[in-house]
Amino acid sequence: MHVLETGRVRGVVFDLWNTLAFDPHCPNPFVALVDAYGLRDDPGILERAIMCQELSGIEEAIAVLARVTHRTLDPLQGEALSRIWRNAGERVRLFPDAEEALPRLAGRFRLGLLSNTQSFGLEFLDSLGPIFQARLFSYELGVLKPDPAMFSQIAERLRLAPRHLLMVGDHLRDDVLGAEAAGWQALLLRRSNASLSFRERDLDRRPLESLLELIDLLLPRRTS
């Protein structure tokens, strides 16, 4: 069983989607895009196509996917997908526990954001202000977690050694195992109400169910 060494944590790095933020739009825009191109069996094709380069918006992403999959959508279907993505982008929200946890942790730790994500539809992050000392997205480097470059680059931006960093995310392979391979500590988050959270089995660790548990681990209450 993995045991968190809280005494050596000086920085906490978070995954974005389904860890800090979620999109309540139905249908989910990512799923709608996967289904439109028949990629349910290999959504990684979509991730590599639109999350490893900077794109101007969903229309350019659709054009890239057409080249990658050799499938051109009907114009009406393309317009519908664009509309879904625009509408969904206006509904992205932080989880309530993330809204509470981030300011409390920011007073004690250097915070980072590390995400596999597209380059558009991220305007909601502006509302967080300077709470993160560093942010790094896959489209900036052209690689996806768990590529070691993602972890080494964010560590450099935070100016912290790997042993002092803790990764928190909902994907076992990309977030947890990727971070541990880079010499970090890591915690898995399993939200019961996040439909897109990954469900890999790992009998070696108990996942967090809320970021408030992270507060309890890193900021224990003083007893009189």
* 182 CB-contact burial (10 Å; exposed 0-12 / middle 13-18 / buried 19+): buried
Is the pLDDT higher at 222 or at 47?
47
pLDDT for the residue numbered 206: 84
Name which of 163, 166, 180 is nearest 109 in CA terms: 166
pTM of the full structure: 0.93
What spatial distance separates the first Cα and last Cα of the chain, rounded to whole Å?
31
For residue 224, is pLDDT > 70? no
At 205, the pLDDT band (50, 70, 90 cuts) reads confident
Name which of 224, 213, 156, 216 is nearest 19 in CA terms: 213
Name which of 45, 121, 119, 52 is nearest 81 in CA terms: 121
Which structure tokens are listed for 209?
A: 């169910």
Which structure tokens are listed for 24?
A: 């309540």
* Mean of per-residue pLDDT scores for the chain: 91
Angle between helices 75-89 and 29-36 (to 10 degrees): 160
pLDDT for the residue numbered 187: 95
Alpha carbon distance 54, 97 (integer Å): 30
> DSSP letter at 137?
E
For residue 204, is pLDDT > 80? no
At 2, the pLDDT band (50, 70, 90 cuts) reads confident
For residue 166, is pLDDT > 60? yes
For residue 27, is pLDDT > 80? yes
Which structure tokens are listed for 11?
A: 């920085």
Average the pLDDT over each of 9-13, 26-30, 78-82 and give the range with the smallest value.
26-30
- Tokens 């526990």 belong to 97
pLDDT in tens, 144-154: 999 999 999 99
pLDDT for the residue numbered 112: 98
Per-residue pLDDT, averaged over 211-220, amounts to: 93
Per-residue pLDDT, averaged over 171-181, amounts to: 94
For residue 202, is pLDDT > 70? no
E strand segments, 6-109: 11-14, 21-22, 93-94
pLDDT for the residue numbered 220: 77
pLDDT for the residue numbered 61: 95
pLDDT for the residue numbered 198: 57
Cβ atoms within 10 Å of 78's Cβ, excluding its own:
17
Exposure b/e, 18-44, CB count within 10 A at least 16 = b = bbbbbbebeebbbebbbebbebeeeee
* 207 CB-contact burial (10 Å; exposed 0-12 / middle 13-18 / buried 19+): middle
pLDDT in tens, 72-96: 999 999 999 999 999 998 899 999 9
pLDDT for the residue numbered 223: 46
Kindly state the helix (H) or strand (E) to which residue 109 belongs, with its residue range. none
Backbone angles phi, psi at 3, to 5 degrees: -120, 125
